[in-house]
Structure 1
Amino acid sequence: MATVKMLNMAGQEAGTIELNDELFGIEPNENAVHEVVKNYLANQRQGTQSAKTRAEVRGGGRKPFRQKGTGRHRQGSTTDPSQIGGGIVFAPKPRDYRYSVPKKVKRLALRSALSAKVADGEIIVLDELKMDAPKTKEMAATLKNINAANKALIVTAEKDENVVRSAANIPGVRTVLASNMNVYEIVNYTSFIVTQEAVKKIEEVYL
């Protein structure tokens, strides 16, 4: 098992914690991570884009000008895609971009993303993260104390409204529950900040 030092909110060492190798110590599978991130982004698409084909645009009831003698190319309709105001060739239409990925691939991608954070030294384990009241200034100070990057994902075991609201106004910082993590967020944020209780929750949920 990998042993990682724990910090307190002041940035001082507060002991060590052992991370399960099945979750935090495997050889990262980049293909699985790529597939799951691609799936996540595809599932976020609204698919509401739409444009009109030549059959749907207004006009086109008569020939716009005579066939010969104008010096222009011959044209039979103003709805032709080559005309200003004409239809769109292969116009995009509303569609659903969602598709599914096997559960085994999702689990492998999650374990790979977590293991990569440990291998790259981008995981920060806190003994606890508590706020008496929503204070953005205190959260910003804590992030500075623990040397968190500008883009940081804070993972907690249970929802703490004070922690969530304290981090809400800090650009590049997001809070999430251990049971609701996804691979895209783990990869997208540089610092992976997790509490001691959240580590136990992750091992409980994903093992």
Structure 2
Amino acid sequence: MSESIVKNWQGEQVGETSFDLRVAKEETAAHIVHRALVRQMTNSRQGTASTKTRSEVRGGGRKPWRQKGTGRARAGSTRSPLWRGGGVIFGPKPRDFHLKLNRKERRLALRTALVSRIDDLIVVEEFSEQLSSRPKTKELVAALARWGAVPEQKALLILSAITENVELSARNIENLKLIPADQLNVYDLLHADKIVLTTSAIEKIQEVYSG
């Protein structure tokens, strides 16, 4: 059971909330989170890097000089990897870097990563209605500072549902990332200095990831 205070739009404490998520055992927690992080970063690789071998490089069909009698080293093609403009030895080719991790393990890693950041969690009330009818980046930056997430720190804002007004207000804040509660990932949870959640986002996380 994890407990945290709840702040309002002005940054004042208005209550407390708690959430209960099953996490990995202490002796295996670091391992399962590390596996999930490596999987996410590896699966984000495109794997499209490609080089040409000597058989794929254009040209080099004619033997540059006769085999014997010139005093130079024998050569059969100007596209040898030893030559300028030649092919590449053991260069990268398109490949699939995909790593598999069971769904239960992925969710266990997410819950463990989130609970491990309990000291950096900031829980706030729903604030979409507090923003003016027009998107205001300045108002959201000021609110984050009142909550304890200063502009110099990397902040992760987790909402149960992202409204257009909040999205437009947040998209131009340099160190802020906005994600919905049902699309958590280990990298963002570990990368952020501060994690800001709404009370409804906590309920959504418990609904989606509890198990």
Deviation for aligned residue 1:95: 2.1
- Partners of 1:26 and 1:112 within 8 A in 2: no
Deviation for aligned residue 1:102: 0.9
SS of aligned partner of 2:139: helix
**Residue of structure 1 equivalent to 2:125:** 127
Deviation for aligned residue 1:129: 2.2
**Residue of structure 1 equivalent to 2:149:** 148
Counting only pairs closer than 5 Å after superposition, residues 1-207 of structure 1 correspond to structure 2 as 1-22=1-22, 27=26, 29-67=29-67, 72-118=72-118, 121-130=119-128, 131-132=131-132, 133-149=134-150, 150-207=153-210
Residue 165 of structure 1 aligns with an amino acid whose one-letter code is L
Residue 69 to residue 12, structure 1, CA distance change in 2 (3 Å) = farther
SS of aligned partner of 2:178: strand
Q: List alignment gaps of at least 5 residues for structure 1.
A: none
Q: What RMSD over aligned residues (CA atoms) do the two structures have, in Å? A: 1.9
C-alpha distance in 1 between matches for 2:70 and 2:11:
80
C-alpha distance in 2 between matches for 1:107 and 1:87:
45
Cα deviation, 1:126-161, whole Å, max 9, x if unaligned, reads: 022222331100111111111215211100111211
- Partners of 2:2 and 2:115 within 8 A in 1: no
Residue 171 of structure 1 aligns with an amino acid whose one-letter code is E
- Percentage identity across aligned positions? 42
C-alpha distance in 1 between matches for 2:193 and 2:25:
19
Residue 124 of structure 1 aligns with an amino acid whose one-letter code is I
Deviation for aligned residue 1:69: 5.7
C-alpha distance in 1 between matches for 2:105 and 2:185:
13
- Partners of 1:29 and 1:108 within 8 A in 2: no
SS of aligned partner of 1:29: helix
Deviation for aligned residue 1:196: 0.6
Q: List alignment gaps of at least 5 residues for structure 2.
A: none
Cα deviation, 1:93-147, whole Å, max 9, x if unaligned, reads: 22222232111211221111011111xx111100222223311001111111112
SS of aligned partner of 1:137: helix
